[in-house]
Amino acid sequence: VRVKLSGGRRVARLTAVYATMSGKKETVLDLGKFIDKGVRVKLSGGREVTGTLKGFDQLLNLVLDECVEFLRDLDDPLKITDQTRSLGLIVCRGTSVMVVSGLDGMEEIANPFLPPDEGGAVMAGE
């Protein structure tokens, strides 16, 4: 993982290539298992999209079909709302891809750091 300071914030970016014993470079990420499956992609700048992964390359450029973007809150640009817009077939440039995760097994949980009256989780024994 390479950490780069950008605009006063730390941005962690996964280096997708490593050298093997033979000196040949291979990808660490196995995106092949997500082909024709749903993925959620977080992009630099805060945009988030979901879609069906149709293709990728060694630079982490992604081709997503039936893509839907989650719109951000106008008052708080770091907060994602339930509003969406359909984008169709898109290409995500690898330099802007921050996180790729499968949609299978994802679920939203309460924020454990917020007090219970603000939507946080209630700890055992409280």
Q: Per the confidence metrics, is the pTM higher than 0.85?
A: no
The lowest-confidence range among 24-28, 47-51, 64-68, 90-94 is 24-28
The sign one gets for the Cα dihedral 53, 54, 57, 62 is: negative
Average pLDDT of span 99-115: 81
pLDDT class of 73 with cuts at 50, 70, 90: confident
Looking at residue 24, its pLDDT comes to 60
Looking at residue 80, its pLDDT comes to 85
pLDDT class of 41 with cuts at 50, 70, 90: very high
Tell me how crowded residue 29 is: count the other CB atoms within 10 A of its CB. Answer: 15
Strands (DSSP E) contained in 44-94 are 48-56, 62-72, 80-92
